[in-house]
């Protein structure tokens, strides 16, 4: 069963002016799609070809001989998750159960957001910043390149892509400005709540 490219959960222009349709056209249509095509090509004829994405990722994590499959399949998963973490007119104060969980585990929303943005800003080179559940406690982690928390027994509830292709067309090298927009204007808290269960 081939891995497929998920549709964006909004129009290509739906996140403007914070993320342009031009960025989404490349990021989803070219980058994400290439990870899907590469994964399908690489697993063809192997023991992984009938596995679902999460199984492929877990089976190849830490296996140097299959690093290409890990990188591509993890990037497929990470991007599918990232698209769902955003919505038009999102961002700002959390609503629902996540609001209380953030207060309990970080003190308050401000402390959480400063730590989340700092994680994205200080990830050296390409990678991701995440809010994860670690044994039922919320925690912020960073991963490099394609690496993903699901390969480390953590449960993601929010992520931001800090590869340059995520923001360069709209923000050039101003990654902190992209992170500010992401947090203030784009986070889909309903999706985050749906990941807590």
Asked whether 178 and 171 are in contact (CB, 8 A), the reply is yes
Give the three-class secondary structure for 175.
Answer: helix
DSSP code at position 177: H
CB of 111 to Mn ion, least distance (A): 27
| d(C-alpha 52, C-alpha 130), whole Å | 22
DSSP of 79-91: HHHHHHTB-TT--
Closest CA to 154 of 142, 164, 145, 172: 142
170 near Mn ion (CB under 5 A): no
> Judged by CB, which is closer to Mn ion: 163, or 191?
163
163 near Mn ion (CB under 5 A): yes
Stretch that binds Mn ion, among 51-59, 65-73, 87-95, 161-169 (CB under 5 A): 161-169
> Judged by CB, which is closer to Mn ion: 106, or 163?
163
147 near Mn ion (CB under 5 A): no
Stretch that binds Mn ion, among 6-14, 39-47, 53-61, 160-168 (CB under 5 A): 160-168
Residue of minimal Cβ distance to Mn ion: 161
Strand (E) or helix (H) holding 160: strand 155-161
Closest CA to 85 of 74, 94, 114: 94
Residues that contact Mn ion, how many (by CB under 5 A): 3
Stretch that binds Mn ion, among 144-152, 159-167, 174-182, 187-195 (CB under 5 A): 159-167
> Judged by CB, which is closer to Mn ion: 30, or 89?
30
161 near Mn ion (CB under 5 A): yes
What are the backbone dihedrals phi and psi of residue 81, each rounded to the nearest 5 degrees, phi first?
Answer: -70, -45
Which residues of this chain interact with Mn ion, rule CB under 5 A? 161, 163, 166
């Amino acid at each position: 069963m081939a891995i497929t490219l998920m549709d964006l959960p909004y129009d290509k222009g739906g996140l403007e002016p914070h993320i342009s349709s031009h960025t989404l056209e490349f990021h989803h249509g070219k980058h994400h799609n290439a990870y899907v095509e590469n994964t399908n090509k690489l697993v063809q004829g192997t023991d992984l070809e009938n596995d679902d994405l999460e199984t492929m990722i877990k089976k190849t994590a830490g296996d140097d001989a299959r690093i290409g499959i890990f990188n591509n399949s993890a990037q497929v998963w990470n991007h599918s998750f990232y698209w769902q973490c955003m919505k038009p007119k999102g961002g700002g104060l959390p609503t629902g159960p996540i609001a209380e969980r953030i207060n309990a585990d970080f003190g308050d929303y401000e402390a959480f957001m400063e730590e989340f943005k700092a994680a994205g800003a200080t990830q050296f080179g390409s990678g991701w910043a995440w809010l994860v559940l670690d044994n039922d406690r919320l925690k912020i982690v960073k991963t490099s390149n394609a690496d993903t928390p699901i390969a480390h027994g953590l449960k993601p509830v929010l992520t931001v892509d800090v590869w340059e292709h995520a923001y360069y067309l709209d923000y050039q090298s101003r990654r902190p400005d992209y992170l500010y927009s992401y947090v203030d204007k784009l986070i889909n808290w309903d999706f985050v709540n749906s990941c807590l269960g």
